[in-house]
Amino acid sequence: MSDEIEVRRIICHNGTGGCYLCCGFLAYVDKKENRIIRIEPNSDHPVNRGWMCPDRAKIGSGFFLNYLYHKAQLLHPLKRVGERGENRWKQIGYDEALDEIAEKLKEIIDKYGPESIGIVEGTFRSDSYWARARLMNLLGNPNNVADPGTVCGKPMAAQWQLTLGVACSCGGMFQWGIPGISCYVIIGHNPAESFPLEYQTILSNKKRGMKLIVFDPRLTETARHADYWFQIRPGTDTAALLAWINVIIKEKLYDANFLLQWTNAPFLVGTDQKRLLREKDVKEDGSENKFVVWNESLNEMAVWDPETQEYLPSNTTPALLGTFKVKLADGKETTCKTVFQMLAERAAEYTPEKVAEITWLDPEKLREAAIIWATSPKPKPILAFVSSHQIGRNSSRVHQCVMILHLLAGMVPMPVSFPGPRGPGGIYVRESELELAEALPVNQRKKMIGADKFKVMAWPQYEITTPLFKRIWGVSNNMSGHGHLVPAPLLWRAILTGKPYPIKALITWTANPMVWAANTKIVYKALKSPNLELHVVVDHVMTPTAALADYVIPAACKSLETPFITNWQDAMGDIIVGQAAIRPLSERRSDYEFWRGLAIRLGFGEYFPWKDPEDVCNYRLKPLGLTLDEAAQLGLIPSNPCTNEAFKEINPETSKPYGFATITRKAEIWPVSFEIFGYDPLPFYEEPPESPISTPEVAKEYPLILTTGGRFRPMFHSEYRHWGMGFREQHPYPIVEIHYQTAREYGISDGDWVWIETRRGRILQKARLSATIHPKVVNAQSHWWYPEMPAEEPYLYGVWISNANVLTLDEPEALDEMVGGWCNRALLCKVYKAEHLPPILHQLGSP
């Protein structure tokens, strides 16, 4: 190999790869020309071991190179010179752009306060969220950040942080690869399209005898391999899982020893107060922080002390089931039940027969599958991923049920690890150690939009979980990642109404909310509103969102033009490290340099001492005794100590198990935090806000159930729509899947352009007839826009033509009560053939 050619160890970040798994690749670089010659899979990388997604393999090295060197890639900052949406720009220098942006931000902060800045992001598009948080915390912004993480995996992680104390999971993303899985349950998740490497391991595990159970209204490629496929009505997952809980408890298929030792299942609940009984309730000088159980050996109350992790008396034998009369400190008598008794009674409301009517499922098959799963040996994970976050109200309850089912089986939902690798200098530097959360005053935290209602992904959650996490693991919990967000529907309304206060500036980076956010019309109104005095977009290419900006800043491509280090926003104990292949092209700069540049201009430069991403990576790795280049040789550095059940490990400081970083030090079937926040501590089923049951009058006009938001190869969210990158050539048009009988009823043939209409609007997609989707369900592909169409209004790159979020629901009363997730699925629609196509549609298919 020539001395001019250097091999760089990079990772396939989701900005180029189409998923979040960060596979390893080798980039062959002409050092003199600063140009990538070719890229190939890295056979030594512990994540993919030389494997490459088939749709990327079709393009070969071009799948990176066609993307990076495409003519649409932004190379210089742009400043708007016309009205928003006129597509009139002038090119300016990077430093000049940041100077002007910083001056405008100063004006806005002086007039309206730091809370008047809003941030919009894309899901896991960067390793510099901590840098954004660091600056915003220093400024005094209450974390008014909106992101599709609200309807992605982060609501699950935020809830489990409260109920399990889990902020890091050893191989959590890779739990399907755990050796010896006997049974795998997938709910609304199709890894054949969204996580191809996961799909490969599913196929491998199937060959070794693993059973696969899938809940999905479509017979997806993944579901084709299922032993049990449940064609469930969209939005009813919670009901199905409650039926499973019912069956498992009724048949006594739970692990009683695990529930007694590691969960709060035996804790007593006052049936009048609907809260866990504390020692202070039964003893005048008792503690608020100690909890009461019924001691079966003495037939009297006993107390659990989370601080010492001991029962008083020490020989207590807690009752798992039962109802008991308890004398309170004031002399009154009250009835109490164990948490497990309360759960059993709640689940008893959801018999398989009753749930079958709700979900369209066969009650006997539902019961049979529950028993198959419950009697399978561990490990037997259940994964309800993104789809369950996208049903609006009740979506958080899906993940509470998943957690409970795992605990019934004697395991936790995600393999719990220590919070990261340790080296000679201690633990590597986590994002939580960089974000400076402590710099934000409490009175400013209270201003976070929506935090008074949607508390599980906001400061109220952080303020409960962080001291608990730090007490056990010695490091802080994360607030810079996407488990800590403002529901996007509230941010748009704050721009438009000024309530609860005005949002005057918006920085949209690595995000395209005109395509990813629900109810595109309200997003458009917000971005066009004169109330918004500054809108900055940071991206690789022009998008419908960028077309409505005041400044567009070119972003360097992660892992190609910048190094990348991640532990998935502190959600895993492992870390992934990759080098940059080349230096950033032209005036493109890293995300870190963008935030550092603003920080310097706003007077906080001293808090950003690292000059570039390489400096940051070396700083974070220093405790491990590694440099960026050395860590990239390894690719993945596992948690150290490496264990999947860290809660059982003995803490050398206490000589007792670490336990769970929760209020009770137990895995909480009855979450104490839910009591504090005012949520029902136990799961329940609620109809979707728009359904044949909840809105029967709407269903008369819109008789079909719409689901959207699912992944499809080779696209990834709203990316790769440009001709010439190699992706659009494989998938040129948006597809809506319809059952052939339904299509026949409406006069629709395969390949027809059809209108999909809800109460909020209508869009065009091409029909694909299917025999395996439910006849009452249609599945529309999401995130479609057309870069070949004009940028100026009314076109905005064709954002109104096929974008499924024109159809979706974001009304505040329809949002999930805990996190504010909106409705991409389980909506009502109608579908009909498009007789006369808009003339602009004829531009499709032109590079």
In one-letter notation, the amino acid at residue 719 is E
Q: 383 and 428: one domain?
A: no
Q: 368 and 435: one domain?
A: no
Q: 129 and 173: one domain?
A: no
Cα separation, 196 vs 176, in Å, equals 12
Q: How many CA atoms lie within 13 A of 154 on its CB side?
A: 29
* Degrees, nearest 5: CA angle 235-241-247: 145
Average pLDDT taken over every residue of the chain: 93
The larger pLDDT score, comparing residue 846 to residue 653, is at: 653
Residue 218 inside a domain? The answer is yes
Q: Look at residues 68, 87, 109 and tell me which one is the last residue of a structural domain.
A: 68
Q: 207 and 319: one domain?
A: no
> Are the CB atoms for 532 and 503 separated by under 8 Å?
yes
- Local structure of 139: helix, strand or coil: helix
Residue 370 inside a domain? The answer is yes
CA atoms 624, 630, 632, 634: torsion sign: negative
Token pair listed for 376: 């399978």
Range of the domain at 268: 256-344+661-668
**CB neighbourhood size of 204 (10 A):** 12
In this predicted structure, which of 111-115, 532-536, 648-652, 840-844 has the lowest mean pLDDT?
Answer: 840-844
- Which CATH number characterizes residue 19's domain? 2.20.25
Q: 269 and 394: one domain?
A: no
Q: 261 and 250: one domain?
A: no
Residue 466 inside a domain? The answer is yes
Separation of CA 132 from chain center = 18
pLDDT-based confidence at residue 840 (cuts at 50, 70, 90): confident
- Local structure of 117: helix, strand or coil: strand
pLDDT-based confidence at residue 574 (cuts at 50, 70, 90): confident
Q: 177 and 308: one domain?
A: no
**Structure confidence by residue, pLDDT tens digits, 375-388:** 999 989 998 876 67
Query: Number of folded domains in the chain?
Result: 5
* pLDDT surpassing 60 at residue 477: yes
**Structure confidence by residue, pLDDT tens digits, 278-319:** 999 999 999 999 999 999 999 999 999 999 999 999 999 999
> Are the CB atoms for 456 and 155 separated by under 8 Å?
yes
Question: Cβ neighbours of residue 592 under 8 Å, at least 6 residues apart?
Answer: 128, 131, 562, 610, 612, 613, 616
What is the pTM assigned to this prediction? 0.96
pLDDT-based confidence at residue 613 (cuts at 50, 70, 90): very high
What are the beta bridge partners of residue 267?
A: 293
Q: Look at residues 371, 386, 408 and tell me which one is the last residue of a structural domain.
A: 408
Q: Look at residues 44, 68, 92 and tell me which one is the last residue of a structural domain.
A: 68
Residue 533 inside a domain? The answer is yes
Residue 185 inside a domain? The answer is yes
Does residue 505 come out as left (phi exceeding 0), alpha (psi in the -120 to 50 range) or beta?
beta
- Which CATH number characterizes residue 177's domain? 3.40.228.10
Q: Write down the pLDDT at residue 667.
A: 97
> Are the CB atoms for 755 and 834 separated by under 8 Å?
yes
Q: Write down the pLDDT at residue 244.
A: 99
Q: How many CA atoms lie within 13 A of 426 on its CB side?
A: 8
The larger pLDDT score, comparing residue 843 to residue 466, is at: 466
In this predicted structure, which of 460-464, 624-628, 722-726, 736-740 has the lowest mean pLDDT?
Answer: 722-726
> Are the CB atoms for 371 and 253 separated by under 8 Å?
yes
Residue 652 inside a domain? The answer is no
- Which CATH number characterizes residue 522's domain? 3.40.50.740
Q: Using the 8-state DSSP alphabet, how is residue 729 labeled? A: T
Q: 494 and 534: one domain?
A: yes
Q: 325 and 299: one domain?
A: yes
Q: Write down the pLDDT at residue 718.
A: 86
The larger pLDDT score, comparing residue 423 to residue 145, is at: 145
Q: 240 and 92: one domain?
A: no
Residue 647 inside a domain? The answer is no
Q: 379 and 242: one domain?
A: yes
* pLDDT surpassing 90 at residue 237: yes
Q: 460 and 589: one domain?
A: yes
Nearest to 830 by CA among 776, 772, 785: 776
- Which CATH number characterizes residue 797's domain? 2.40.40.20
**Structure confidence by residue, pLDDT tens digits, 390-443:** 778 889 999 999 999 999 999 988 767 778 888 888 889 999 999 999 999 999
Token pair listed for 478: 């994360």
**Structure confidence by residue, pLDDT tens digits, 17-72:** 667 788 999 999 999 999 999 999 999 999 889 988 887 877 776 788 999 999 99
- DSSP per position, 589-645: B-HHHHHHHHHHHTT-GGG----SHHHHHHHHHGGGT--HHHHHHH-EE--SS--SB
> Are the CB atoms for 213 and 336 separated by under 8 Å?
no
Residue 633 inside a domain? The answer is yes
* pLDDT surpassing 90 at residue 764: yes
Token pair listed for 666: 């137990």
Average of pLDDT values for 218-244? 97
Q: What does the H/E/C string look like for 307-372? A: CCCEEECCCCCECCCCEEEEECCCCCEEEEEEHHHHHHHHHHCCCHHHHHHHHCCCHHHHHHHHHH
